[in-house]
Amino acid sequence: MWKWVWKVVGKSRAYPDRVKVLNVLSVLDSVPLCGLQQLTLRGEDGTATLYLEGPNIVGVESEVLPDLGTALTRAGLDPMDVDLAEHEDRRVWPPLLRKGLLAPHVAHAQFALRVTQALLPLAWQDLTWTVTPLAAYADRVDGLSLDTAGTLYDMVWLAMTIPGARRADRPSTRLRAVPASSVPEEVIAGGAVYLGVMHGWTLGQVAARLGLRWDDLSRQVNALVNSGLLCPVPVQVK
């Protein structure tokens, strides 16, 4: 019997703020993409864990991810089918794929979405990471994998679309909803975000509960701020 005992620990380069999004690409320089391993990325605010098998991502965890069953229901699957799948296999995916209730290309797209949802909140933060080899990964699902390098590059491109005014937002960021009788038509897409903030949710909670990708959430928040419906929480002076 044997087990892995080594770890790789890394830290992103000191990129200037305008290109801080490139921090995540530093991972590719130092993480050996071989074998089965756990890659944990930590920002100043938030953590994402990727499970790697060789050069591919085969699993993801993050506090900003919506519950998988909820996400699949939101994507159009029958709630009863999803509920039965959850009782049959905690991974949820296998029963749906085996019974033909979820097409492989749809499953792949949903898996890719979850990986992106986990990574994007860290895009404009300084990062540290650890890599721990694993003997096994129980949540792996055959057919669900993403190229690690390609995924990180795609994430960088998406992160570049986040409005400059919102790049300092973090999962723990709280905003204040300004009372309004209605949401203007030009920001109607942000109505659910507005209500979430009104309920006291952090932006990380908004992303998880509404199933929003961080760049989409950032654009909606930006529109709501520009329309005067959201504003920063006043800093309390002691």
Boundaries of domain holding 223: 165-232
Average pLDDT over residues 197-225: 94
Here the tokens at position 192 are: 């659910």
Asked if 149 and 205 sit in the same domain, the reply is no
**Residue 44 covered by a domain:** yes
Higher pLDDT, 192 or 23: 192
Residue type, 112: A
Cβ neighbours around 238 below 10 Å, total: 2
Asked if 150 and 170 sit in the same domain, the reply is no
Cβ neighbours around 101 below 10 Å, total: 16
**Residue 219 covered by a domain:** yes
Instruction: Say what the pLDDT of residue 49 is.
Output: 95
Asked if 138 and 26 sit in the same domain, the reply is yes
Average pLDDT over residues 207-235: 91
Which residue among 116, 134, 160 closes a domain?
A: 160
Instruction: Say what the pLDDT of residue 24 is.
Output: 75
Average pLDDT of the chain, as a whole number: 86
Asked if 16 and 97 sit in the same domain, the reply is yes
Asked if 179 and 208 sit in the same domain, the reply is yes
The dihedral over CA atoms of 135, 139, 140, 142, expressed in degrees to the nearest 10, equals 140
Here the tokens at position 124 are: 């404009």
Predicted confidence band at 11 (pLDDT cuts at 50, 70, 90)? Answer: low
pLDDT in tens, 145-175: 999 989 988 998 999 999 999 999 999 999 9
The pTM (predicted TM-score) of the whole model is 0.86
Q: How far does the chain reach from its first CA to its final CA, in angstroms? A: 58
Which residue among 160, 193, 221 closes a domain?
A: 160
Which H/E stretch holds residue 62?
strand 56-62
**Residue 237 covered by a domain:** no
The residue assigned the tokens 């087990």 is 3
In the chain, % of residues over pLDDT 90 = 62
CA 113 to chain centre: 8
Which residue among 111, 141, 160 closes a domain?
A: 160
Predicted confidence band at 179 (pLDDT cuts at 50, 70, 90)? Answer: confident
Average pLDDT over residues 125-150: 89
Nearest Cα to Cα of residue 111 among 58, 64, 38: 58
Instruction: Say what the pLDDT of residue 185 is.
Output: 64
Which of the residue ranges 77-81, 198-202, 234-238 would you say has the lowest mean pLDDT?
234-238
Residue 224 CB contacts under 8 Å (≥ 6 apart), including other chains:
187, 190, 193, 194, 197, 230
Count: domains in the chain:
2
**Residue 238 covered by a domain:** no
Instruction: Say what the pLDDT of residue 180 is.
Output: 78
Asked if 151 and 127 sit in the same domain, the reply is yes
The dihedral over CA atoms of 221, 223, 227, 230, expressed in degrees to the nearest 10, equals 0
* Residue 143 reports pLDDT greater than 70: yes
Instruction: Say what the pLDDT of residue 193 is.
Output: 92
CB 174 within 8 A of CB 140: no
**Residue 3 covered by a domain:** no
Instruction: Say what the pLDDT of residue 2 is.
Output: 36
Average pLDDT over residues 212-222: 95
